[in-house]
Amino acid sequence: MNACIRAIVRIGIARGLDIYGIYGGLQGLLDKRFEQMKARSVSNIVHRGGTCLTTGRSEEFREEEGQKKAARILKEEGFTGLFALGGNGTMHGMTKLQRYWEGQIIGIPGTIDNDVYGTDYSIGFDTAVNNAVEAIDKIRDTAQSFDRVFLIEVMGRDSGAIATHVGIACGAEIIIIPETTTDIEDVAAKINAGKRRGKTFAFIVVAEGDEEGDAAEIKRKLSGKIVEDCRISVLGYIQRGGNPSHFDRVLATKLGAHAVDCFFKGESGVMVGEIAGKLSATPLIDTISKKKVVDIYLLGLVDALSI
């Protein structure tokens, strides 16, 4: 997110805009936590994870009165455009704000879940996957040395994007995600069959939001069905932090610059993205009404790759 903020600030200033940062997300907007950003305000942040502006949820903005208050503040303060960086919740919020404010609203996808329709990749996804892969590569030493079956839980309450990419990258035997139906008996059969073929260890990558439960619940359901008990590793918030990858820094910079371009073109009510290598602008209503599908092709490779 910092690389994106940096691009918006510096490119916006270069093109004659006065750029203000809002601290604390939508609640910060309601609390008028504004600060004018100068070129030096975003020095030395391109390599840092998280966001220098901080963020947070706003219960007040969920209500119509909060949305009207936000629109009133933006108008009274003289703002003409708003760049909103976030995931599905942010895009939902922006579609509501559009009803009450006439300024230009441009969304930018920033979520490790990579589940926002209108872009191939969202800012943060690549870094989160790399963080998870690095952690699992370390777990592999234990799994291989002790002939263990590991259930590894990654983030993904409603999306299996992280689990799918991590599972393929780490050679998982099984990938369990919310978008597909999980058959516990089938999972057990695959693990047992692998053991019979001479596999000494196995990884099962689980997205936290699977309908059969998290890693702990799936372990409970597998108990007695596989040849040995599973070990669990929940990666948790380690996926969200750390220095952003090269890919994320470049993507964030491009999308920030493209958002400024869209502003000068007079566009509003859109989310910028990159689709098939080309910069795009998708109506905000599409980003919340259309579902981004998981990569079925990658999932289809798992069984063959794990023989």
- Helices 64-76 and 88-97: angle between axes, nearest 10 degrees: 70
H/E segment holding residue 92: helix 88-97
Tell which residue, 238, 236, 262, 237, has the closest CA to residue 104. 262
SS3 per-residue string spanning 246-274: HHHHHHHHHHHHHHHHHHHCCCCCEEEEE
Angle made by CA atoms 148, 149, 154, in degrees to the nearest 5: 125
Identify the helix (H) or strand (E) that includes residue 231.
strand 230-234
84 touches 107 (CB < 8 A): yes
* 261: nearest Cα among 272, 251, 252: 272
113 is catalytic: yes
> Residue 291 burial (CB < 10 Å; 0-12/13-18/19+)?
exposed
* CB-CB contact of 135 with 203 (8 Å): no
Which of these is catalytic: 18, 31, 113, 229? 113
User: For every residue of 193-225, which 3-state class applies, written as one string?
Assistant: HHHHCCCCCEEEEEECCCCCCCHHHHHHHHCCC
Alpha-carbon span 207 to 235, nearest angstrom: 11
**Backbone phi and psi for residue 290, each to the nearest 5 degrees, phi listed first:** -110, 145
- What is the number of alpha carbons within 13 Å of residue 249 lying toward its C-beta? 11
Which residues, in sequence order, are CB contacts of 64 under 8 Å at separation 6+?
none
Active site (catalytic) residues: 113
